[in-house]
Amino acid sequence: MWQCLNRKRQNLAKLTEKHNLKGTLVCVEGIDGSGKSTQLALLRDWLKSIGQDVIFTEWNSSPLISQTTKLAKKKNLLSPRTFSLLHAVDFADRLKQVIAPALKAGFIVLADRYAYTAFARDAARGVDPNWVRNVYDFAIKPDLAIYFDIDPKDAMERICFNRAPKFYEAGMDLKLSSDPYESYIIFQSRVIKEYNAMVDEFGLVKLNAMDSIHSKQVKIREMLKNVLIEKGIEV
């Protein structure tokens, strides 16, 4: 048993120990409708306004794999594990081509979703959590990782103001319900359960997604200021 625990710690060493790169890595997590992307956009604009060098990256955006993933989604060809592996390839490419070079150069990297998204979504789809963590054992630990917690019903109300839940977003591939709205609640409840379990495991900072946009942004900026001060960066 202890050998297994030690092996798991070694596999996740990069994701649980501080990196020694010059830059700063900030990621936001949460289900769609939690407001994380809005907060990251506001943070990016603020950082640019005070003269900081900023790089932005988002989930499933690597030119190498994103189109393949989109095509497979349209044809509903993805098993949970295949879905997981495609996103891992996307993440690995962005880490090598965008995130790591920017951190080495001293940039602030803002990531809209990080490896924790895979840990939450893939486990919610029934993929073994330890297997997923091993797949991402190369991921760099963020300097600040924020999780926006929200009730799935509140998130769905926000989403449905503009559109209906998407097929995979609602977990329709799992056949949880023939009703996409009911399926969304069931699936995203599973995702939220996984996120909440990761708060202590990976030191995610949990924020109430239902707080005002302004109050959340104030908290995020304050937390980031503290991180930058620790690195000797004046803001």
Instruction: State pLDDT tens for residues 116-153.
Output: 999 999 999 999 999 999 999 999 999 999 999 999 99
Q: What is the pLDDT of residue 198?
A: 95
Residue 11 has pLDDT above 80, yes or no: no
Token pair for 180 = 């996409």
Give the sign of the dihedral formed by CA 157, CA 162, CA 168, CA 172: positive
**Residue spans per domain, the chain:** 2-226
Q: What is the pLDDT of residue 82?
A: 85
Summarize pLDDT for 57-72 with one digit per residue, the tens: 998 877 777 677 666 6
DSSP secondary structure string for all residues of 12-55: THHHHS----SSEEEEEE--TTSSHHHHHHHHHHHHHHTT--EE
At residue 7, the 3 state secondary structure works out as helix
Residue 186 has pLDDT above 60, yes or no: yes
Beta bridge partners of 56: 110
Closest CA relative to residue 190, chosen from 174, 213, 204: 174
Which pLDDT band holds residue 86 (cuts at 50, 70, 90)? confident
Q: What is the pLDDT of residue 1?
A: 34
Q: Output the pTM of the full model.
A: 0.89
CATH number of 2-226: 3.40.50.300
Closest CA relative to residue 198, chosen from 91, 88, 120, 140: 120
